[in-house]
Amino acid sequence: MIGQARCGVSKGTPLERWPVIEMTWDVWSSLYPSTLVLAGDQGFGTEEIPWSYEAETYPYGDYETSNSFFSAAMPALDTRRQIKERVFGVPSSATDAGIAFPFGELAESGEGRYRVVDFTYEGSPAVLLWDGTAEGGFAVRPTTMAGQALTITAGEGGFLDDDTGSAWSIDGVARSGTLIGSRLVPIAEAYVPFWGAWAAFHAEALSGRTSGPSDAQRDCPSGEQLHHRLRLRTRTWRDPTGRERVRPWTPRHIVSEP
């Protein structure tokens, strides 16, 4: 979650970040109606995707409400917020401490569906665009990709810029007005984790600690330790040609051993 190699020859090397946005399917499909969705039947048998797109139930049981994180070892959990509450996190940088915007606080602000939260990141203005119906947010610079600085505000109908009157959607795209089709500069480092995981991996920013890794950031265990801690199960199926195939279970099937 800190976006860099934890061990090996590339230890400490950061990954290139790409902006990611999460939102409800309803809002996404209204913005991008031509979106294609991966079909459930990929020719690998009925168990390949063990849930239905049409089902209205959460496919991972009580994972969103429990305090567990699959089989990963976690430090003592920060209980100032609900462990599985989603937050919009902007990681710490060389000049700024990390900041987390709890979804609960954003949704209960009483400011309507749309909200703009101004903050400073790496010495420059930044804004969080929050859409309560989309159940998501997006961190951007109040500047177009062409370099035009704007003042972004929230109204009953969406996000507007005071400079041209253009209307913007949660993904930082102008949908109408003088700047239609323009994009705001995204903050690629931002992403949405659970509060418990964010607090574990960004403990230094939260506690003001200036040295020493958090428990979740310590070196990787040795191969022998991994062998004893994790066991990947396999399963078989027959492909459309009748040949038997074997593959590991997906990460949700990793079994922890003492």
**Does residue 148 form part of some domain?**
yes
**Does residue 2 form part of some domain?**
no
Nearest to 195, CA basis, from 80, 64, 67, 84: 84
Look at residue 69 in the predicted model and tell me its pLDDT. Answer: 79
How far apart, in Å, are the Cα atoms of 133 and each of 17, 82, 137, 159, 162? 26, 21, 10, 13, 23
**Does residue 13 form part of some domain?**
no
Q: pLDDT digit string (tens) for 195-238?
A: 988 888 876 554 333 333 444 444 454 444 433 333 333 344 44
Tell me which residue has tokens 């119906």: 133
**Does residue 56 form part of some domain?**
yes
Give mean pLDDT, residues 72-83.
79
Look at residue 30 in the predicted model and tell me its pLDDT. Answer: 95
State whether 241 and 174 are in the same domain. Answer: no
**Does residue 88 form part of some domain?**
yes
Number of domains in the chain: 2
**Does residue 8 form part of some domain?**
no
Look at residue 139 in the predicted model and tell me its pLDDT. Answer: 96
Domain membership of residue 56 as a residue range = 25-220
State whether 232 and 251 are in the same domain. Answer: yes
State whether 65 and 95 are in the same domain. Answer: yes
**Does residue 226 form part of some domain?**
yes
State whether 74 and 118 are in the same domain. Answer: yes
State whether 192 and 166 are in the same domain. Answer: yes
Residue 38 dihedral angles phi and psi, to the nearest 5°: -60, 130
State whether 216 and 232 are in the same domain. Answer: no
**Does residue 71 form part of some domain?**
yes
State whether 106 and 132 are in the same domain. Answer: yes
| Average pLDDT value for the chain | 77
C-alpha span between 126 and 141 (Å, rounded)? 5
